[in-house]
Structure 1
């Protein structure tokens, strides 16, 4: 296992090198400048679309704008917001949060383009059903000659969509918050037991298909964000005197990198801190990775720009709001300096110190809902990748493989799980961003038409 962990860690470091950072952040900046910040100008309009003002039940697609965003958010607003932020701060200190913000703001533009393309170039699967996602906008937008790129994305997606990180961190949370404090010794047996329970719950939902997944997500996601918001707000109020100092430190430490404890990169610790923040930001909001376009591509709409605008809200909600709440919670309580813990255990320590007795259990409820809702969405992404590769009649096999992987995630180390998903997320980002940059003029042509007609009404 140590040898496997070493090789996967090396693979993650290799694929998340300078070229991929240029592709994700540089490409996102190019899209932002190319669009002249146009999506941000219509932030209010995006909220109106999300609220259903422009919904038409007769439009092609399977789910509403709101359900599409909630399905996408149920995979992004998850353990990346609780455990991923904690990992970033444990290694990089407060400055890592700033680079997560940059990743999110650039990611909003990327999400607008990728999810517009997911509707603009929808294709039909072998059963005749309209489908969206990078594999379809590559083949429909760039032509059949580019199909190997779509196949590459789909193969990477089969592993990238596995729920191993979320399951791993939920298992750790149940052990640290519920079992150990109550005198139950954690070990392989308890981990496996937690994995089996999660596998059963997940199986009940995902075997019901996209409609059941989207309806479940549309109820769970708003509730879990609100519960988490209230809990963290209580902690911030209790530590209100520390909030201004740490908000300032997030900015200053982002360029000083005084609290970075990992290995240097690109000749120094600042470069390593930037990479760390962007990696954790990409893991949290998935902008440019290609998962969200698969959910947004199923939206009921004939207007691709509307879905792009709705999708743009995802990184803002996910990283700018939820990740910042987690980061401030960890920073103002001081646990990032007083404990060697990382991941979800670090966040749990912040809740425990601020709200003795009840705090850890409130966090456990949030973690459970975050993680379980993520399990539902990722299964949908994996089945779409398998259906593209081998046909819709074979896609159900992925669900069984997916459920089995839950048991692996529950009984394996955190470091291995992070490196595994990081590696395949990076591989998914290559075809997604490459195709998006090539097809960007098509998006802007459609955007100009849409916003011209919108301004006339």
Structure 2
């Protein structure tokens, strides 16, 4: 077992106690449901007010803060609208099928209230730093109101880790992957060039970050929406069947179809909630850091602005991505691709995805929680290869949760990206290839940004559709990395003061460049762990302050009616 696989297995083990644990979806949804009822459906009742505030109807330049409401919203959206909207939605469908999208919707709708709460409280307890800028976020209300410095420290440390695991590494990793697939640009070149641009932006702090976000976010959102609609309209006959697949499989799980081996109710729900959180970050507390810089005296007004984020991010953009993937049908088809080492598992015996019994056993096997209950065993031994094709039998190669077809094996030449077909023996241990220099290609399901890019080619633009994904991902993911540098920046400021910010920024840019060439599955595994390390302390904190939240909202409306009599 190599070091990459060891790291991934360790992260997956931690994830089993965090985002993939049975309790987590119920905790996240439960907190959102509690505040939705407790505050009287604020995501519906205050939606119009939120729009008016963003338009600047009640803004005063004399109010304390560093940015406008719109700039704060744009910055926070730039932090949430990223790979979660392009690669994350595709990953949710790939793992949980259409049913996972329903749980993304639930997470977003209830998350509108959760974000309203966390942003209001963070804005209320923000403070001015030694350099004159505003600093806020859950760590400030945890310390100043709850007197729980230890919880604030945990959250701040988790924010720094998440800035790499959520906002930094998955973003550049997906950009590099798509730029390589679309334009054949080597991953390392993409990493270096964008790392330089990233450094140029984040050195200017929140004001420069907000200016970039104000200009880029609206443009990239419109571009992506137009591109998505061109695919959906082209496949208009599949729109209703797509919604039917999402709703019809909510409580039964997604059935096996094509190369997709199916997913249980629990697995689909888990993946949907997890990807929903990764996309809109409601409950994570991250966006609250950006909103704390907004000008304004009324914390609840900024909270209302923030409830627009999950609506835009998930209920609009993620839904469009899902409809593109589902209506095009590419999610259940096998595509020619180069297999990722950590996506491959060799198992004993010959299985077929047209055999119902085989499909059930493989579905159980591929779920980490139920793998031991499956009759499927990992393969150990040698496989004979002749001119790149296997001549041995008695095994099946699973790649990307599907049975691989038309598989070829080649050996990467030393010091080169080229490879030559293998003739000889290859060794498999515990289901994994031992030699990391063996290149495996064939047909299988694909996931993440590659799946979305493939779906965008099934519309009016044809093969040119993938350029929409490439440009959209470049802009989405890059601005996410910019926003997350600010979140980590504020967490470092809270823990170590302003003097630690420069060191953090250098390290942040360096890791951004490095992550362009790191294994994709490891990056996503890190993101899965990091995001929940922030979320759990934040959910605990806002629940403890539920009375404070309700009183803050009451005070806002009382003051608003005095200042704006009918």
Asked if structure 1 preserves the Cα contact closer than 8 Å seen for 2:123 and 2:136, the reply is: yes
What are the residue-to-residue correspondences of 1:12-411 with 2, within 5 Å? 12-16=15-19, 17-127=21-131, 129-143=133-147, 146-162=148-164, 163-179=168-184, 190-259=186-255, 269-339=264-334, 340-354=445-459, 355-411=461-517
Asked if structure 1 preserves the Cα contact closer than 8 Å seen for 2:89 and 2:321, the reply is: yes
Residue 6 of structure 1 pairs with residue 9 of structure 2: yes
Asked if structure 1 preserves the Cα contact closer than 8 Å seen for 2:160 and 2:492, the reply is: yes
Indicate the larger mover: 356-365 or 151-160: 356-365
Q: 1:371 to 1:129 in 2, by over 3 A?
A: closer
Q: 1:136 to 1:303 in 2, by over 3 A?
A: same
Deviation at 1:105, TM superposition (A): 0.6
Work out the CA distance in 1 between the residues paired with 2:531 and 2:24. 11
Asked if structure 2 preserves the Cα contact closer than 8 Å seen for 1:284 and 1:318, the reply is: yes
Deviation at 1:168, TM superposition (A): 0.7
Partner of 1:187: none
Asked if structure 2 preserves the Cα contact closer than 8 Å seen for 1:123 and 1:140, the reply is: no
Work out the CA distance in 1 between the residues paired with 2:133 and 2:157. 21
Work out the CA distance in 1 between the residues paired with 2:269 and 2:106. 10
Deviation at 1:40, TM superposition (A): 2.0
Work out the CA distance in 1 between the residues paired with 2:179 and 2:43. 41
Q: 1:61 to 1:360 in 2, by over 3 A?
A: same
Deviation at 1:371, TM superposition (A): 1.1
Larger Rg: 2
Work out the CA distance in 1 between the residues paired with 2:150 and 2:202. 29
Deviation at 1:366, TM superposition (A): 0.9
Asked if structure 2 preserves the Cα contact closer than 8 Å seen for 1:92 and 1:259, the reply is: no
Asked if structure 2 preserves the Cα contact closer than 8 Å seen for 1:71 and 1:217, the reply is: yes
Structure 1 unaligned residues grouped into runs of 5+: 185-189
Asked if structure 2 preserves the Cα contact closer than 8 Å seen for 1:263 and 1:272, the reply is: no
Q: Which string of whole-angstrom CA distances, capped at 9 and with x for unpartnered residues, describes residues 381-426 of structure 1? A: 1111111111112111111111011123211122111110111110
Secondary structure, in 3 states, of the residue corresponding to 2:297?
coil
Asked if structure 1 preserves the Cα contact closer than 8 Å seen for 2:201 and 2:209, the reply is: yes
Which residue among 423, 428, 443 is the counterpart of 2:534? 428
Secondary structure, in 3 states, of the residue corresponding to 2:285?
coil
Q: Which string of whole-angstrom CA distances, capped at 9 and with x for unpartnered residues, describes residues 358-386 of structure 1? A: 21112211111111111110100111111
Work out the CA distance in 2 between the residues paired with 1:24 and 1:283. 12
Secondary structure, in 3 states, of the residue corresponding to 1:289?
coil
Asked if structure 1 preserves the Cα contact closer than 8 Å seen for 2:114 and 2:282, the reply is: yes
Deviation at 1:290, TM superposition (A): 1.1
Secondary structure, in 3 states, of the residue corresponding to 1:431?
helix
Work out the CA distance in 1 between the residues paired with 2:262 and 2:101. 18
Q: Which string of whole-angstrom CA distances, capped at 9 and with x for unpartnered residues, describes residues 242-288 of structure 1? A: 10111121111122213376898xxxx21121111000000000001
Q: Provide the aligned length of Structure 1 versus Structure 2.
A: 442
Q: Which has the higher helix share?
A: 1
Deviation at 1:450, TM superposition (A): 2.0
Asked if structure 2 preserves the Cα contact closer than 8 Å seen for 1:122 and 1:131, the reply is: yes
Work out the CA distance in 2 between the residues paired with 1:357 and 1:130. 46
Asked if structure 1 preserves the Cα contact closer than 8 Å seen for 2:96 and 2:269, the reply is: no
Work out the CA distance in 1 between the residues paired with 2:24 and 2:454. 34
Secondary structure, in 3 states, of the residue corresponding to 2:296?
coil
Q: Which has the higher contact order (CA 8 A, sep 6+)?
A: 1
Deviation at 1:316, TM superposition (A): 0.5
Work out the CA distance in 1 between the residues paired with 2:7 and 2:458. 36
Asked if structure 2 preserves the Cα contact closer than 8 Å seen for 1:290 and 1:428, the reply is: yes
Indicate the larger mover: 410-419 or 355-364: 355-364
Q: 1:417 to 1:133 in 2, by over 3 A?
A: same
CA RMSD, aligned part only?
Answer: 1.6
